[in-house]
Amino acid sequence: MQIGELAKGLSPEFITRFNDVPWKQIKGMRDKVAHGYGTIDLDRVWSTAQENVAPLLKYCQSILDDDR
């Protein structure tokens, strides 16, 4: 949820520049988890956390490293 919330604060320019990340889907998943919208697929949430968070962290770190 925190990643999705923070993604909502990204500027359109940032999202366009770093469009390798599915920002819209990240924000949408946050909304579904936060508000319930029926049922939450816990298996999908778990697999997303296990498979996608580490690569996203690595990608974001590379952006920060390149910007220094």
pLDDT tens per residue across span 2-50? 999 999 999 999 999 999 999 999 999 999 999 987 788 899 999 999 9
| Exposure of 43 in the CB half-sphere (CA atoms within 13 A) | 0
* Selected catalytic residue, list 17, 30, 44, 68: 30
Cα-based angle 7, 10, 11 (whole degrees, multiple of 5): 155
Identify whether 35 is a catalytic site residue.
Answer: yes
Number of domains in the chain: 1
Does residue 30 carry a catalytic annotation? yes
Q: Which residue out of 17, 35, 44, 68 is catalytically annotated?
A: 35
Q: Which domain holds residue 43?
A: 2-66
- Global pTM? 0.84
